[in-house]
Amino acid sequence: MKPFRLAVLAAALTAAPHAIAAPLEAYGKLPNIEQVAISPDGQKLGVIWSDGVQRRIVVRNMATRKLDQLGAGDVKVRSLDWAGPDHLLITTSTTSYISGVEAPRGEYAQLLDYDLAQGKVRPLMRGADESLNIIIGTPMVREIKGKTVVIVEGVSFVDNKGVDSLFQLDLKSGSSKIYRTGFKYTKDWVVGGDGEPLAEAEYNQETGAWTLRNRLASGGWGPLMTRTAPLDHPNLQGLGRTPDSFLISERVKDALVLHEVSASNPTVGEPLRQDLTGSLIQAAGGGVLLGFADLVGDEDVYTLLAPADAEAWRKIRRAYKGSRVQLVSWSADRSRIVVRVDPPDDGPSYALVDLKTGRADSIGFLYDDLKPQDVSPVRPIRYKAADGLEITGYLTLPNGRPDRKLPLVVLPHGGPAVRDDPGFDWWSQALASRGYAVLRVNFRGSAGFGRPFMEAGYGQWGRKMQSDLSDGVRFLAAEGTIDPARVCIAGASYGGYAALAGAVLDPKVYRCAVSVSGPADLPAMLATLKGSGRLEATRYWTRFMGAEDSKDPVLKDISPAAHADQVRIPILLIHGKDDTVVPLAQSLAMERALRAAGKDVQMITLAGEDHWLSRGETRQQMLTSLVAFLEKNNPPN
């Protein structure tokens, strides 16, 4: 069932052991396939395809083999969702201010309807009075009395104040209307199978008050649950196992407990799951709960509630033995399943599994220009930090070179409360193709290893979170795998901060550092967040920084811009001009501080780029600049 590339494999068998690596742009371009979604009837595939820079929406009718294509250019296409067999919903986003509205510059999402029967595309969320044309979250699709109904969260205005409200979209006319107006602090909704809201959650950022309301039989709303939590408040998680139930997750001691509440008996009873560590698997369009997906250590574990679904997944896993396999999308009857296959010796690909015929067909590779010999091996590693805490991570080794005395690039992840995983990582593979070993570390504070491990990172921003990285360097040096005199550090977002902190707070470990969109002036960063009203995000960061607020003097100790005079190595700063998460001003402040101190610094601004490197042209510009800087300051040979 694996989508083999026969010609490529035959060539690889006869290739020289030190074959020339693929061009750098083969790794740095946008994936040829960014997302695949199968229609509810299982007859069509919607694909976000790109040539590395320009995007298209491609729809393949598997019965007729007809292809429909819609040019998207450099528009940032975020997701595809089906609304029945003939309407493909396309979510895009734009970095902008909202004219006439008091709101920060941000990344705002819009929704388009690709009507395949008519061959037309039109924007949705237009025509509703006293509202914006943006959406919040993903569309919810419901089948009501034989009619497909699309419901989205958006913003309506009450007394000139924006509130999170529900909109119903008519795909036939393209019109939209507000059908449930939120309260002042509404944060989230769950909509039942009948298209009516089951639950609504409110959160006051200033006081930390969280309230859950459920729909009463009388048609009104009543409070079901209240909590006071400046951080880690409960969350609505969507529909439960039936279309008239909903899910709530709540932090209880060291576990995230999941409850299911029935609309007919609205009480919070025994947990459905005692510790929710991964993600929910739900039917398409925000439908009912079908199971759970967890990454346990380095293994994907799928727990599917229906025995038939569980048995089908076991068959798929057996067919792709030795590869990482992830569920992407499936038809309404779950007979056709789109999976992502990530083998250890080739690039990742998408495949369509048909359970009725027992057949799997390749949809395509994410990176068409990469051959098996262009993919470097990745191995999991474990080591003890200086204080004895066990740290895990992944080491990517360059093909064709013995794993002794290699030059190393440390590549810390962003977040910081996320994690690296064992799958294909384009940054690591690109750097390994140039001759570098690459270390990705799940330092303390990373998610996915239990609450105590995450909490071990609280207050350790720039401290033990940082030394966990250099402890990994020392571990690999002691093994003889890397040359400790040839180590650089690079990263994006929090990883960009860690790169700068490596130059300032751990200066004897690294020869050079590259920060992509990394915070550098922490008091200014927190002041910007607070000033824009993002109090919850401010608390999230201060918890890891070990600070009370933006004026806490402890922030200066761990701010790279405040210690530019201590830098002894070359630094490259790269930042997107349209970054609304970590403002461009952060890298500019670091550049000014380094230049004032007479240090070796380069600054590259990526025009039109956001925090996530969403544009193909600037993504390649980032990677090309990064590699050129590394090769100059830490030559791989």
pLDDT per position as a tens digit, 520-553 = 999 999 999 888 888 999 999 999 999 988 899 9
Q: Percent of the chain, pLDDT > 70?
A: 97
pLDDT (tens digit per residue) in 585-637: 999 999 999 999 999 999 999 999 999 999 999 999 999 999 999 999 999 98
- Mean pLDDT computed over 44-73: 96
pLDDT (tens digit per residue) in 80-94: 999 999 999 999 999
pLDDT (tens digit per residue) in 435-473: 999 999 999 999 999 999 999 999 999 999 999 999 999
pLDDT over 50 at 307, yes or no: yes
- Mean pLDDT computed over 376-389: 97
Instruction: Give long-range contacts, CB 8 A cutoff, 24+ apart: 521-525.
Output: 521/559, 521/561, 521/562, 521/586, 521/589, 521/590, 522/547, 522/555, 522/558, 522/559, 523/550, 523/551, 523/555, 523/556, 523/559, 524/550, 524/585, 524/586, 524/589, 525/550, 525/582, 525/583, 525/586
pLDDT over 50 at 312, yes or no: yes
Tell me the C-alpha to C-alpha distance, in Å, between residue 494 and each of 67, 185, 441, 527, 529. Answer: 41, 30, 13, 17, 15
- Mean pLDDT computed over 144-162: 90
How many Å separate Cα 524 from the centre of its chain? 26
What is the C-alpha separation between 460 and 455, in angstroms, rounded?
10
Sequence-separated (6 or more) residues with CB below 8 Å from residue 442: 391, 392, 393, 413, 419, 420, 448, 449
Q: Percent of the chain, pLDDT > 90?
A: 85
pLDDT over 90 at 220, yes or no: no
pLDDT (tens digit per residue) in 480-521: 999 999 999 999 999 999 999 999 998 899 999 999 999 999
Examine residue 416 and say whether the peptide bond preceding it is cis (omega within 30 degrees of 0): yes
More confident residue, 412 or 269: 412
Sequence-separated (6 or more) residues with CB below 8 Å from residue 304: 281, 290, 291, 310, 313
**pLDDT at residue 111, as a whole number:** 96
Looking from the CA of 447 toward its CB, the CA atoms found within 13 Å total 15
Q: Which structure tokens are listed for 282?
A: 């739900």
Q: Which parts of 263-396 are beta strand (E)?
A: 279-282, 289-296, 299-304, 324-330, 336-342, 349-354, 359-365, 378-384, 390-396
Cα torsion 401, 629, 420, 467: sign: positive
pLDDT (tens digit per residue) in 9-51: 223 322 333 447 899 999 999 999 999 999 999 999 999 999 9
Identify the weakest region by mean pLDDT among 91-105, 128-142, 176-190: 91-105
Q: How sure is the predictor about 8, in pLDDT bands with cuts at 50, 70 and 90? A: very low
Q: Which DSSP letter does residue 544 get? A: H
